[in-house]
Amino acid sequence: MSEKKKNDINWKQIVYTAIITSVFSLMVGLGIFYFTRESPELVFEEYPSANFTGNNTTLGIINCRISNTGSKEAKEVICKFSLDSSLIIKDVKLSVSNDLLKYEEINTNCKNSKQYKFQLLNPKENCSFSFLVDNYKSDSKIKISLRGDGINGKRLDPTEDKELTIGDIIIIALIALLIIFLILVVFGVKYAIKKQKRLMNKLDEHTDSERQKAHDSINVGVGYCDMGLIDESIAILKKAIYQTPEESSGHSNLARALAYKKDFKKAIIEISIAEKLLKDDMDRLVFYYTNAQVYALQGDKVKSLENLKKAYDIDPSRVYEKCQLDDDFDSIKNEQSFKELKAPE
């Protein structure tokens, strides 16, 4: 009886050892096979656009992104963006996933198309584009051509059936083998599930909406600008605008930050966009006050005072207290129109 029990124990050890050895060997083999078959994969995708209709023109923002979703770097990547012949590209903003990612614009001498070149696009790297276009219509489309050294890009379609890749085969094989181990590690799996649920619940409690994050980013960008960290302020405000391009205050405060950099041309563009997005008195207050700051920095005293008066009419107490301490208005504080902005009784 004792001898039989001993044989049973040895048999179990042999089975367990064989299973573990087989799984380890298969994982190593599949891993070697997978990593020796590395290849780049260029994809592009479009995001919902936004339009702002005015009396004389219709502006819109068309958003898209290119990515390398493969497992190897893509070289000599060229992406071309073509819009309808009636559209005019006013400005382009690029946001890269890696600050070391280098690119250059290829001059196309065409008002409705842009072309960019990336020397190297590593795996998981991407670049987002936001095109500010004139004569925008709801059915306006963008045509994207993407290619690299020996590879052509394709549109990323979440609804499209995905072909089975080497990585998918590895995952399926591992799942099949892991099922065998479920019998041996059932208590460990239960513990892992409980731990995962606790983690997900904790993440859910701290998840904010994208809009709230954008608002917080705008406030941070304004604070950086107030402290003189202009480059940091511009970067944060651009990211906030990319997340919620319909927020007027983001464009207004970006105009002010650009004015500090003496980039008044782009600042005026942001002002024109912000004006078309005004929704309430708070938007108007921020819009007119930041306009006054931009024009004061530009040296246009007349427009600066006009906008400051409009902001004062919305909230006299708040504007009076702020403008008295605002260094941006040093050039107009001796003007009679500025002195007429009295403290509310």
DSSP 96-130: ESSTT--EEEEP---TTEEEEEEEEE-TT-EEEEE
- The per-residue pLDDT for range 189-218, each reduced to its tens digit, is 566 577 777 777 665 554 456 667 777 778
AA letter at 53: T
Same-domain check for residues 244 and 104: no
Backbone angles phi, psi at 138, to 5 degrees: -60, -25
What are the distances in angstroms from CA 195 to CA 179, 183, 203, 206?
20, 19, 12, 17
Same-domain check for residues 294 and 146: no
Domain holding 69, by residue range, is 42-155
What are the distances in angstroms from CA 132 to CA 6, 112, 183?
78, 11, 58
195-228 burial, b if ≥16 CB within 10 A, otherwise e? eeeeeeeeeeeeeeeeeeebbebbebbbebbeee
Same-domain check for residues 214 and 301: yes
AA letter at 242: Y
Same-domain check for residues 216 and 333: yes
- The per-residue pLDDT for range 121-148, each reduced to its tens digit, is 999 999 999 999 988 887 778 899 999 9
Same-domain check for residues 214 and 327: yes
DSSP state of 327: G
> Per the domain annotation, does 201 fall within a domain?
no
pTM above threshold 0.85: no
> Per the domain annotation, does 257 fall within a domain?
yes
User: Strand pairing partners for 128?
Assistant: 65, 95
- The per-residue pLDDT for range 230-264, each reduced to its tens digit, is 888 889 888 888 888 888 888 988 888 898 888 88
DSSP state of 207: P
* Element holding 134 (H helix, E strand): strand 126-134
> Per the domain annotation, does 205 fall within a domain?
no
Total domains present in the chain: 3
- The per-residue pLDDT for range 2-35, each reduced to its tens digit, is 444 444 445 556 655 666 666 666 666 666 655 5
